[in-house]
Chain A
């Protein structure tokens, strides 16, 4: 068999997996890999900070459903990636992170740029490897991709010592991977499906509670079919947005801490909660004993550890969401007990109650003359992009307003750090998304605080002709923490006042991008239109109502029905 270098074998593994773009930053330990990349058709996007590399790979993975790849050097290169790896882990995003490592004879000697990255990332990766023998290189890479994309997806890190990568290796033909100790359950148990469906038929006030699992398993169509077939209202978690069309009459929007009044009231009053690919996060449930207190709970999840972790589940279904929803749809389609019109009609009183809640407290905000309200900016973005843009966000108020006021009608048009809540996610993620879909409009909704966490990636966007748009909702505060201080800490704004903020218009120009500013409501539309029409990276600096809060809000530790409203 023809021998090739370890680094060539790694590149060939990436090609085998269909990887077109990776995100990386070089260093001594990975020079061989970068060298081999030059001879391949894979684009390496040179980021400006390793956190950006992994977030960009993550953004690409979220919008495409493919595995994202980042290539980092040893030591600080690897540790700089850790926050972004943890971000992907919390949101179950499939990534393969390749890190350089010092040569094997030096491992453990505190060598230059040595760090035990496998030890450091053990709790924030789905799995990780240190390849000590070049013979294992190809098999390990293939296994890493397999683990990253199957079951509940997640990041897998492969640590590559410099001498291992330099060795000559065989490149055997790829065979289907079968691991004795790793076999995720995709098919639901038919008995559980039947039990779930029969319970659904009995329910008077059912609610579908949809999480990121529906996006990850591409189950949005099956979910939409089920909801419409049975006339069941749907609420989505932050990660589940786009899993069901946000403008469908059955959509109640997001639930939880900043969810809609309607969604939280519906869950609290439901007699049957169908959780699909969601994990009962504390930001969703609020006080646990008051969460869906009257409901029988059906929970579909591919990860058995998610089931009955926070909330005791009555009917667990361990399966891929798509397979489980298909099985449920089939059950209804073939069951003689199921009369579509009758069931749909039986839910009308429940939907009427839900309509009353929406009428009483719709998602809204108070207009204040020509002051820019952040919610208005998001509404305008939605309108002027016809709800069709890919939206990424930073974390905090900007993220919640984007989630509340942009109508996500399709899956994979939304990339946000849900579980970990990582500021600095949005801009690199937008670059990753734009690299995957150059023809689509990609907008990072940001705050003036969080945009500064990875603002250096503007240079990456410029270098790769990646005209992402950044909409900064600028209030000169770390707004979400300030909101908590206003509401629960006697307005003591400790550490949340951004006394010095750069001039974002000039900053954009310094990077060769375009900077636009709106200080009045009447200017917002023109700024967005100009940004969308500009074939360049654009920063839109919206100077917003400074002390605007995100409402509704469920204070931490309270029941989700105890909402603070506009």
Chain B
């Protein structure tokens, strides 16, 4: 099962390696990881996507919480949440495919952020599956380069 875990941690040198070291040392896997500072500059928010059965996810959250520099661990996928990922794709765009590429980008509500005579660089945001979908569509046309941010996520606010 895929889980998206949000971790608040002290924004100090070496803290990220405590988290990644924990995963490699205990044989947990990381599918994606994204980290940046929060409103409070001394605290960072790290979002990671991992896979495992219930027992493994329980160990992952407990082990993360055990790290002294970790303030809070939330398995966001326990409840309703929104997730987003951004991808930058440089796709081949020559005379016969330029129009087709633009149509695809439009369907995915992407933006062209860089243009050259033979390629477009495209920005698309969405869930991990949407990002994967546009990659799959553009692949036959010719993807030259791709950079993904990894997923970030936020629990939905209570509706009450």
The digit string for B95-108, where 1 denotes a CB below 8 A from any CB of A, is 00000000000000
CB of A132, distance to nearest CB on chain B (Å): 8
A303 CA to B55 CA, complexed, in Å: 16
Query: Of residues 299 to 346 in A, which have CB atoms within 8 Å of B's CB atoms?
Result: 303-305, 308-309, 312
Query: Of residues 102 to 150 in A, which have CB atoms within 8 Å of B's CB atoms?
Result: 118-119, 122-123, 126-127, 130, 147
A181 CA to B14 CA, complexed, in Å: 16
Q: Is A305 within 8 A of B71, CB to CB?
A: no
A304 CA to B21 CA, complexed, in Å: 19
Question: Is A182 at the interface (CB under 8 A from chain B)?
Answer: yes
Q: Is A181 within 8 A of B71, CB to CB?
A: yes
Closest to A307 in B: B62
The digit string for A157-198, where 1 denotes a CB below 8 A from any CB of B, is 000000000000000000000011110000000000000000
Closest to B72 in A: A181
Q: A305 with B62: in contact, given A127-B68, A181-B10, A182-B68 (CB under 8 Å)?
A: yes
> Please, which residues of chain A bring their CB within 8 A of the CB of B66?
303-305
Pick from B14, B17, B63, B69: contact of A305, CB under 8 Å: B63
Q: Is A180 within 8 A of B59, CB to CB?
A: no
Q: A119 with B17: in contact, given A126-B68, A181-B71, A303-B66 (CB under 8 Å)?
A: yes
- Count residues on chain A whose CB falls below 8 Å from chain B CBs: 18
A118 CA to B18 CA, complexed, in Å: 11
Query: Of residues 204 to 238 in A, which have CB atoms within 8 Å of B's CB atoms?
Result: none
Q: Is A123 within 8 A of B21, CB to CB?
A: yes
Question: Is B152 at the interface (CB under 8 A from chain A)?
Answer: no
A227 CA to B129 CA, complexed, in Å: 57
**Chain B: number of interface residues, binned into ranges:** 10 to 19
The digit string for B25-59, where 1 denotes a CB below 8 A from any CB of A, is 10000000000000000000000000000010011
> Please, which residues of chain B bring their CB within 8 A of the CB of A119?
14, 17
> Please, which residues of chain B bring their CB within 8 A of the CB of A118?
14
Closest to B63 in A: A305
A290 CA to B65 CA, complexed, in Å: 31
A289 CA to B58 CA, complexed, in Å: 20
Q: A181 with B68: in contact, given A118-B14, A119-B17 (CB under 8 Å)?
A: yes
> Please, which residues of chain B bring their CB within 8 A of the CB of A179?
68
Pick from B14, B58, B63: contact of A122, CB under 8 Å: B14
> Please, which residues of chain A bring their CB within 8 A of the CB of B22?
123
> Please, which residues of chain A bring their CB within 8 A of the CB of B68?
126-127, 147, 179, 181-182
Closest to A151 in B: B66
Residues of chain A touching chain B, judged by Cβ–Cβ distance below 8 Å, are 118-119, 122-123, 126-127, 130, 147, 179-182, 303-305, 308-309, 312
Residues of chain B touching chain A, judged by Cβ–Cβ distance below 8 Å, are 10, 13-14, 17-18, 21-22, 25, 55, 58-59, 62-63, 65-66, 68-71
Please name 15 pairs of A and B residues whose Cβ atoms are closer than 8 Å in the assembled complex, sorted by A. Answer: A118-B14, A122-B17, A123-B22, A123-B25, A130-B14, A147-B68, A179-B68, A180-B71, A181-B69, A181-B71, A182-B68, A303-B66, A304-B62, A304-B66, A305-B66
Beyond known contacts A122-B18, A179-B68: 7 more, CB 8 A cutoff:
A118-B14, A119-B17, A123-B25, A126-B68, A181-B69, A305-B59, A305-B63
The 4 residue pairs across chains A and B that have the minimum distance between CB atoms: A305-B62, A127-B68, A181-B71, A304-B62
